[in-house]
Amino acid sequence: MKVLVCKTCKNILQISKDGKTECIHCFHFPESDSGLPEEIDVDLNEVSCGICKRRAIDTEWRETLPSYNAKSNTFYCGCRGWE
């Protein structure tokens, strides 16, 4: 599936209420390319949780991929809670 990641840090972007993309990891560097979207193709069979290694395809998160990072190809499934 296609996801939008941050050009700078490759973390998945969130869409704010006014329709802008924002990166929760580097939004405080406005002078950089932070938050610029880059569309990438993700194979859910290859994405796994960075902690418990569960595959995204086997979780309820296959639509949203919380904390997905394109560099490591991992996401966070919530196995340690959602503080």
In the bound state with Zn ion, the residue whose beta carbon lies nearer, of 23 and 47, is 23
In the bound state with Zn ion, the residue whose beta carbon lies nearer, of 1 and 24, is 24
Nearest to 8 by CA among 39, 35, 30: 35
> Is 57 a binder of Zn ion (CB under 5 A)?
no
Pairing mode of beta strands 21-22, 2-6: unpaired
> Is 47 a binder of Zn ion (CB under 5 A)?
no
**Each residue of 6-20: b (16+ CB within 10 Å) or e?**
bbbbbbbbeeeeeee
In the chain, the amino acid numbered 46 is E
Question: Which residues lie across from 38 on neighbouring strands?
Answer: 5
> Is 52 a binder of Zn ion (CB under 5 A)?
yes
Count interface residues toward Zn ion (CB under 5 A).
11
Residue ranges in 1-40 that form contacts with Zn ion under rule CB under 5 A: 6, 8-9, 23, 25-26
Binding site for Zn ion (CB under 5 A): 6, 8-9, 23, 25-26, 49, 51-52, 77, 79
